[in-house]
Structure formats: structure tokens, C-alpha cells
Amino acid sequence: MKQNSLLLAILTGLFFPLFLSAQMIWIQANASAQWSARQKYAATVFDNKIWVLGGQEASRKNDVWYSTDGDSWIQATAAAQWSARRGHSAVIFDNKLWVIGGYDGARKNDVWYSQDGVNWIQATANAAWSAREYHASVVYDNKIWVLAGYTGAFNNEVWYSSDGINWNSATSSANWSARYWHSSVVFDNKIWVIAGSDGVLKNDLWYSTNGADWTCATANADWTARRTHASVVFNDRIWVLGGLIYDGSRKNDVWYSLNGVDWFCADDTADWSARYEHNSVVFDNKIWVMGGYDGSRKNDVWYSPGLTGIEQDAENVRLQRDNFRVFPNPAKSYFTIRLPQTADRTEVKIFDVTGKEVKRVWGLGIRDWQISLDGFKSGVYFIKIDDNAELSKIVIAK
């Protein structure tokens, strides 16, 4: 009994700081929004509203919808002046809503804008960049940027415009591979290109301060290579949500990074169904996930306030003073222990809150340990590596 009491004291604070682990709460705002279920659409935030524009249902759409709360949706127009399309992009620039490129039966390089979502004006019918779909667009340095996409082939072009009419090439061949189905965000005063497909699914991240010169933040992020995922910037972090991976399966995991290099799993299986070709936006200080395809087209709307817990930084997930990492945390079906380097022989012990050892495994030359949680009950457990005196906490939430 004394031994268990001593171990419990060690576990609860004498040898390591007690963190509340990162976790996410998801709330369904609407299971079936007023706009029809769709994928390959565009979404953005404008005039304190969430906007949904066009996309693919049984046929291509050019309707425009908005909401002030994510639950009740109003149709701005059933048929915008731009043709019904999919695979386009939308941005907010010069206090206007913009729709860029896409596919309406043929690939497009037209650019449209609106001040109210109802009345649309064509900035150009044929931009200087070639007609494309599945590109990405951002606003950076007071310019609209168009990055890569599918023109009949992959490309890695980067274009910009200060008025939506006249376009300039920043580079015809960026350092990252030609691709489509990627995402782009503006973070830390840089443009970022995230994952996608160049014929092979990617999990790389690149950034640039001028659109011409690009630096690889990481060639292999901790999350599985994917395409048609969603990305946002929220609470000083880049977030990657869902997508399609190499084996054709859909994902509903959520990852974040403070620097684009080190990634942490906030949710390995979110409450919204695994999907791709969805959209995410940041609105009302929340992350939103909407629509997409999970085996059928969706028009559900979800939101999350982001991470909860005492510490909202990377150290909240690096649970043991940089000696090893534990993720995801909380975990449902498995968790991974990542050692700082491969060891000749490693022993992992897991204890419950009474100090009872509930699992022990060992192996040779392993850096990443994936621990199955079969047979575990929900609760708090502690991990010990070899004879290291420090322990780390893992929360199991089944």
C-alpha cells in the first residue's frame, strides 16, 4: 500500500508538471442546412457571415448562401451571374466577395466579385493564368494570389493581382512539386502551401514571403499524406482537418501546428463523419466544418471553440519535457509514443491512477510506438519509459 501511495504521489506532481491535455469539443449547428448537400464548393467569411458558394451536388451549382450563426441559412441568390461550377476558390479582397476559376463543363479562368453576394460583376473573363480547377487562393500583401491547380495537368505556378483584373506571375515553377487538391493559408505573415497531390499524395508544407521563393517547412508532417482536406488559421496555429488518404479512406482527424513544422493531433476522430472535399472557416472565434463527401454528399455544419485545457501550446502535448511525445491525447483507440531517437532496447510501462501496472511492452530499434487501447477503460493513465524517473499522463476517452 505504501508503495502504491508513493507511486501515486510521484505520478500526481512530484516529478513532472501536471498538464490538462489538449482536446476538442465539436457541436453540430445543423444536421441538414438549407443549402443542398454538396462537395467541391467554396466557403468564406464576409460581412460577419459564413458564405457557401456553388459546388457539386447531382449537378453543378451557382447558388450563394449565408448564415450569421451556422444554423439558419439564407439564399442570397439561386443563380449568380457566374456559371454553375465546382473546384473554384473564394476570397475576401477590397471589401468584396470574389469567386475565382473552377470547372463548369470546361475549366475556367474568370474572376468575379460582389459586394452583397447577390449582384456579381465580372472582373475578367480570361485572367492571365490558364483555366484551372482545384487550385488555392489567398489574400496576402494586399493582393489576391492563385496557387497551382489542375489545367489538364498539374502545375506549380503562382500568380497575383492587386485588382483581380491584371495578373502577374510570381513564379512559373515554385520549389514545391506541381499539384492540385492542396490547401493554402496565410500564417506568420507568409503564404503556405499544404499537402495535396502531385500524382502522389503529399504531407509537405512550404512557405513564402513573396510568392516566388519558397522554403520547405517539412517534407513529412506527422499527419498522413492527404488531399482535398481543409485548412484554417485559428488561435495562432495552422489547422488541418480531414481529407482523403492513400488507401482511399476518408479522415476526420484534426491537427495543429504553431510553426508548420511540429504537428500535434487535437482530435483523432472528430464527431463529424470522416470526409473530404469539405470546407472549414473561422467565424465567431470558432472553427467550422461544413459539407463535403463521406460516402454521400453532406450539408451538415459543425463548430468547435478549439483546444480546451490549462495550457494551449505545444508543451501541452509534449507531455514530458521533450524526452518523448505522446499523441493523440486524449486518445480513443490507440496512442503513439515518439522517442527522440531510436534506441537499442526500450521498455514501456503504463500505470493506472492507483499505481497499478496495467501494460508493459518492449522492443528493439523502435522510435514510434503505437499502443492499442483494447481492454483499457476511460480514465487517466501514466507512461514510464525504461528507468526514467519522469512519467507522462495520457487521457483515454472512449
CATH number, domain at 327?
2.60.40.3080
Asked if pLDDT for residue 256 goes beyond 50, the answer is: yes
Over residues 76-102, mean pLDDT = 98
Looking at residue 398, what is its pLDDT? 80
pLDDT at 49: 98
Confidence band for 326, pLDDT divided at 50, 70 and 90: confident
The domain spanning residue 91 has which CATH number?
2.120.10.80
Whether 333 shows a pLDDT value over 80: the answer reads yes
Given this model, what pLDDT does residue 15 score? 34
Q: Are residues 327 and 287 in the same domain?
A: no
Same domain, 280 and 341: no
Quote the mean pLDDT of the chain: 89
When pLDDT is cut at 50, 70 and 90, the band that residue 388 belongs to is low
Helix, strand, or coil here: 314?
helix
Please say which residue of 308, 328, 351 terminates a domain: 308
The 3-state DSSP class for residue 5 equals: helix
In this predicted structure, what is the pLDDT of residue 325? 78
Higher-pLDDT residue of 354 and 383 is 383
- Residue 382: the pLDDT is 87
Residues 47 and 165 reside in one and the same domain: yes
Q: Is residue 345 very low, low, confident or very high in pLDDT (cuts 50, 70, 90)?
A: confident
- pLDDT band, very low/low/confident/very high, at 358 (cuts 50, 70, 90): very high
Residue at a domain's end among 246, 279, 308: 308
**Cα 379 to Cα 72, 308, 326, 376, distances in angstroms:** 38, 17, 16, 9
- Residues 37, 8 within the same domain: no
User: Could you give the number of structural domains in the chain?
Assistant: 2
Closest CA to 29 of 306, 304, 308: 304
**Are 320 and 301 within one domain?**
no
Average pLDDT over residues 369-394: 82
Claim to verify: residue 90 and residue 127 sit in the same structural domain: yes
pLDDT of 23 over the 70 cut: no
pTM over 0.85: no
Give strand ranges (E) for 57-125: 60-67, 74-77, 89-93, 96-103, 107-114, 120-124
Burial of residue 22 (number of CB atoms within 10 Å: 0-12, 13-18, 19+): buried
Residues 286, 347, single domain; the answer is no
Q: What is the pLDDT of residue 312?
A: 46
Residues 46 and 144 in one domain: yes
pLDDT at 2 over 60: no
Measured distance CA(325)–CA(117) in Å, rounded: 46
pLDDT range class, residue 9, cuts 50, 70, 90: very low
> Sorting pLDDT into bands at 50, 70 and 90, what band is 338?
confident
Mean predicted confidence (pLDDT) in 244-249: 95
Q: Give the residue from 308, 325, 355 where a domain finishes.
A: 308
Exposure string for 222-243, b = 16+ CB within 10 A, e = fewer:
bbbbbbbbbbbebeebbbbbbb
Domain containing 10 equals 2-20+313-396
- pLDDT in the model for residue 6: 38
* DSSP assignment letter at 398: -
